[in-house]
């Protein structure tokens, strides 16, 4: 198990398979204001591949190709934010997608705790640290602690998806979840267009 850090883009010859877990680190929680600093990915094999994004960078051709590949499922936890952040930075919309937070909210209706740390503890039996969550991701040199934290957000998403898929099937909500996932890139686009706080479906 290892972390692989790249500058500006993925290597030309890297293949991550049909399901890729993706997460982003930014300078804050407003994708229109706070720049994208790191994109981390895993194919579920225990390895994490990370792109350090340079200030002002607007192109990452290999990453964009992965995001837009219709044959690759992009797996997120709270994909709404990550999809918006990468669309704003590179002009690419990730699809098709799966979001473990949405899946959890649809099927774990007995609780309001849908954070990644809780889900991994309860459904996968893995404990991850959130100590570096609010560190400076825009630093020129990222620490090993930061890289390990970033990796932990994607290394276990494949197993978490399996657990949530079983629950969705059990409760008869798999089709509803899929339709929510299909809409997620549109929800991210609405956020970037100024409707982040507005429920356009309300009266």
The predicted-structure confidence for 42-51, as pLDDT tens digits, reads as follows 999 999 999 9
Q: What was the pLDDT predicted at 134?
A: 75
Q: How far apart are CA 6 and CA 12, in angstroms?
A: 11
Please give the CATH number for the structural domain made up of 3-195: 3.30.420.10
Q: What was the pLDDT predicted at 132?
A: 65
Question: Strands 36-42 and 48-52: what pairing?
Answer: antiparallel
Q: Where are the domains of the chain?
A: 3-195
Q: At what angle do helices 79-90 and 174-190 cross, to 10 degrees?
A: 40
Q: What was the pLDDT predicted at 129?
A: 77
Task: Give the three-class secondary structure for 198.
Answer: coil
Q: What was the pLDDT predicted at 64?
A: 98
Q: What was the pLDDT predicted at 162?
A: 98
Q: Which helix (H) or strand (E) holds 167?
A: helix 157-170
- Low-confidence residues of the chain: pLDDT under 50: none
Query: Each residue of 121-135: pLDDT tens digit?
Result: 999 999 987 766 678
Q: What was the pLDDT predicted at 39?
A: 98
Kindly provide the b/e burial profile for residues 127-161, where b requires at least 16 CB atoms within 10 angstroms of the residue's own CB. ebeeebeeeebbeeebeeebbbbbbbbbbbbbebb
Q: How far apart are CA 200 and CA 203, in angstroms?
A: 8
Contact 41, 16 (CB under 8 A): yes
Q: What is the pTM of this model?
A: 0.95
């Amino acid at each position: 198990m290892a972390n692989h850090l790249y500058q500006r883009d993925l290597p030309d010859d890297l293949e991550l398979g049909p399901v890729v877990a993706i997460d982003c680190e930014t300078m804050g929680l407003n994708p229109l204001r706070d720049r994208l600093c790191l994109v981390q990915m895993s194919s579920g094999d225990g390895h994490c591949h990370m792109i350090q994004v340079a200030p002002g960078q607007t192109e990452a051709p290999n990453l964009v190709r992965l995001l837009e590949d219709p044959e690759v499922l992009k797996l997120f936890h709270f994909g709404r934010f990550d999809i918006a952040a990468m669309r704003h930075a590179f002009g690419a919309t990730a699809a098709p997608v799966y979001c473990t937070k949405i899946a959890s909210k649809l099927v774990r209706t007995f609780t309001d705790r849908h954070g990644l740390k809780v889900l991994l503890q309860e459904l996968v039996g893995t404990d991850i640290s959130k100590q570096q969550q609010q560190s400076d991701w825009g630093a020129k040199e990222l620490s090993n602690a930061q890289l390990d934290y970033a990796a932990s957000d994607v290394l276990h998403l494949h197993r978490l998806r399996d657990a949530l898929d079983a629950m969705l099937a059990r409760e008869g909500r798999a089709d509803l979840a899929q339709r929510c996932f299909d809409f997620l890139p549109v929800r991210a686009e609405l956020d970037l267009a100024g409707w982040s706080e507005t429920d356009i479906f309300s009266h």
